[in-house]
Structure 1
Amino acid sequence: MIGQEYFTTRTDSLGSLDSTIYRLVSFDVASLQVLRLPVFVYADKDCTAVYAAPDTLWLRSPLPVTTRPDTLKLRDQTKVGMLQRTFNYPIFLLFIGSLGLLFLLVYWFFGREIDRQWRVFLLRRQHSDFVRAFNRFNRNARERNNTSEAEKAVVVWKQYLEDVEKKPFATYTTREIIDNIPDETLEGALKDIDRIIYGQGKSQQMDASLQTLKNVAQRVYRRHRLDIMRPTR
């Protein structure tokens, strides 16, 4: 209700008549609506509501009437529109972050053991490469009785010790090698090989001398492997 107009009471032999006019606003789209209003009879302590008979209201809409077609009506036989694929960056970043967090957790609990096993793996592969090359030169020196092949085996042996021990074995003399690796059998083997290489002499012990060098390299490998695997406090 947005307004109300009152009229003076009229009284005749039939009784008194009160009248009023209401101005209403409705948000219902129906053009016909039913309304029933009460009349309150006041007393000293209370009042009584007396309802009139229901009446029908004819509502007038202020909206203009148009003949616009219904735009919400579905159309049939429409063409299918192809949607362009897009990369889901939030999901990708979430996946990368989850992998990073998982890696950090794994490294936190097992990082030291992973590092130890990785160092053992590198040491084992390095030793396998040395054994393969050394055996090839040793076999050639034995089968061909070639001093140059024996010299190549010694060079490979020195390079391997230099990589593992972190000392310049490639430039060491026989005396310096013995000082760093005290071993009587090694000293005899190196001297025998020196006679073969530099003296161009023959030796029945060449194969045994080269085998001694291989055994020394094997002991060095085992010692370093034990050092890596030894638990640290």
Structure 2
Amino acid sequence: MRRLLLFILAATLPALALGQQVLRPTGSFSSDTVKIGLPITYTLVHKHAAKLEIILPGATYNFAPFELVRKDFYPTKTKNGLSTDSAVYTLRTFDTKPVQSISLPVFVLQGKDTIRINGDSSRVILKQLVTKVNEPLQFKAQTDLIPVEERFNWPVLLLWSVVGTLFVSLVWLLFGQTIKTKYKLYRLRKDHLYFTSRYNSHIDRFVKTGASQSLEKAVSLWKNYLTKLERSAINSFTTKEIVEYYDNNEEVNHALRLCDKAIYGNVNTEADAETKDALLLLRRFTKTRYKARRELTKNAKNNRQHAGLAEPGVVQS
């Protein structure tokens, strides 16, 4: 028993001696009063010998009845062998006690041991916002509807956009070629009807007036239409090149030479039957080429030589 007492005394004497040598830390609140939930700062200052290694409380320390919001440490200042450590703690409390206090210690590192030096206690008064509570409590009900601003449902729009894109992509994947073919046939038919209407108007005007301008416009319209239909620059070809382009077609050769004679020869004062027949031959040939192009478009997936309708070659000028 005596040995145990001697051991305890030997262990505590150095700590007591050190505690007498190390000054106690001092702390103070920035205000005498505090409100529940609102922050208040607590400043801790400790002066000690420069040779001592001191640790101030950190985030893991229990600050009850307060809670730690933020801590700010400042560098150690040493002058004439005396060092000063300081820290500012931002605290808040949700305790309802009228008077609340806190005492923060410092820790002295000595070898493998740590010695705690307690500081003075600092108090703060809790400022009560509610001084009187009526019993029983009165509850006020409010059942009026509050208008809420309508918001656009962007997720639904995005969902429908994705679904719509997938649906259109699927339709195009399955029926895209058919749709393209139908559209091309529609354009071919529309262009041919438009050409036929205007071409007939020029023929009628030429028959009635015999003016070479009407004949020239009819031939120009014929060349421009075939240019678009054949996808070749036929409107820039000479009569000889056009005949060669269509494999020396006798009807085209005969009709174009009659038209050239009437336009450039300036020998007719009125429309003759032969020139009119030449215009009709050109119209009939155009209809033949339209039907050929339509058949090629319908059978786009098959051989381009379907039904013996070959694409005529272009003669380079």
- Inter-partner Cα distance in structure 1 for 2:204 and 2:153: 61
The one-letter amino acid paired with 1:129 is Y
What secondary structure sits across from 1:205 in the alignment? Answer: helix
Q: Name which of 108, 125, 130 aligns with 2:195.
A: 130
Q: In 2, Cα distance between the equivalents of 1:228 and 1:153?
A: 27
Listed as ranges, the gaps of 5+ residues in structure 1 are 1-64
- How far residue 74 of structure 1 moved from its aligned partner, in angstroms, is 2.2
Q: What letter is aligned with 1:193?
A: C
Kindly indicate whether residue 252 of structure 2 is the aligned counterpart of residue 183 of structure 1.
no
What do you get for the CA RMSD once the two structures are aligned?
A: 1.9
**Residues 18-65 of structure 1 deviation map (CA, whole Å, 9 limit, x = unaligned):** xxxxxxxxxxxxxxxxxxxxxxxxxxxxxxxxxxxxxxxxxxxxxxx9
TM-score, normalised by the number of residues in structure 1? 0.66
Aligned to 1:199: 265
Alignment of 1:75-86 (within 5 A): 75=142, 78=144, 80-86=145-151
Residue number in structure 1 paired with 2:186: 121
Q: Are 1:228 and 2:293 matched, yes or no? A: no
Q: What is the Cα deviation at residue 70 of structure 1?
A: 3.8
Correspondence list, 1:6-85, <5 A? 66-67=133-134, 69-71=137-139, 73-75=140-142, 78=144, 80-85=145-150
Stretches (4+) displaced over 6 A: none
Q: Specify the SS of the correspondent of 2:161.
A: helix
How far does residue 66 in structure 1 lie from its aligned partner after superposition?
3.4
Partner of 1:30: none
Q: CA deviation at 1:116?
A: 0.9
Separation of aligned partners in 2, 1:168 and 1:231: 23
Alignment pair present for 1:110 and 2:155: no
Deviation at 1:227, TM superposition (A): 0.4
The answer for the alignment partner of 2:165 in structure 1 is 100
Structure 1 residue 183: Cα displacement: 1.8
User: Under a length normalisation based on structure 2, what TM-score does the superposition of the two structures give?
Assistant: 0.49
Structure 2 residues without counterparts, runs of 5 or longer: 1-131, 303-317
* 1:75 partner letter: Q
What percent of counterpart residues are identical? 25
